[in-house]
Amino acid sequence: MKVLITGFDPFGGEKINPAWEAVKGLKDEIEGAEIVKLQIPTVFKKSAEKLFENIDAINPDVVICVGQAGGRFELSIERVAINLDDGRIPDNNGYQPVDVKIFEDGENAYFSTLPIKAMVEDVKKVGIPSAISNTAGTYVCNHIMYSLLYYINKKNLAIRGGFIHVPYITEQVLDKKNTPYMDLNTITRGLEACIKAVINNETDLKISGGKEF
């Protein structure tokens, strides 16, 4: 089995992106699966183009994209991506779309094809906070999750794919009072637990993962 896992470069004035830093720390082999790590730009469209190129070249069985969600406490396993770009800030190329469809011929939304509930449970088992998230936002994180699932769907690829949001790491919150963060090594361990859950669960757990709000 081959797992392609991506992380973004820094954006929004940050000097570091915990997503890529945590991905870099992963082992090259987990549970017998080859782990291929890829940095992608925090840029609408260009991020997806780079992802598509590497999917075609690497031919992975699983694709997991990882991004930063400053302000969240836990590893957030995303359930759904929507067909909308609405940038709170410009991307790293200065582009700031407002209410733009990602793909005109795409569905309104695509759901993760990863065993998201099993992933949450396995992350918790190693002592790390985790939860299902029902919004990946409308910035480049949602853009790449939607683009990934769109590509899998349109190309009819035998690939399972989805997205994980991770918190800030320690050095990012030195001047951000009362802001949640997580140790970088802890995030990497959480990602490893997620990968193991994907490898060991062909189907998801039938347990509640819903929220009231």
CA angle 22, 179, 19 (to 5 degrees): 15
- The catalytic site residues sit at 78, 141, 165
H/E stretch holding 160: strand 160-166
CA 122 to chain centroid: 17
- Token code pair at residue 168: 């800030």
Taking CA atoms, 132 is separated from 20, 27, 45, 80, 104, in Å, by 21, 25, 26, 10, 28
Percentages helix, strand, coil for the chain (3-state, rounded to 5) are 30, 20, 45
H/E stretch holding 198: helix 184-200
Q: Which residues contact 80 (CB under 8 A, 6 or more apart)?
A: 109, 110, 111, 112, 134, 135, 136
* Residue of 125, 129, 15 whose CA lies nearest to 72: 129
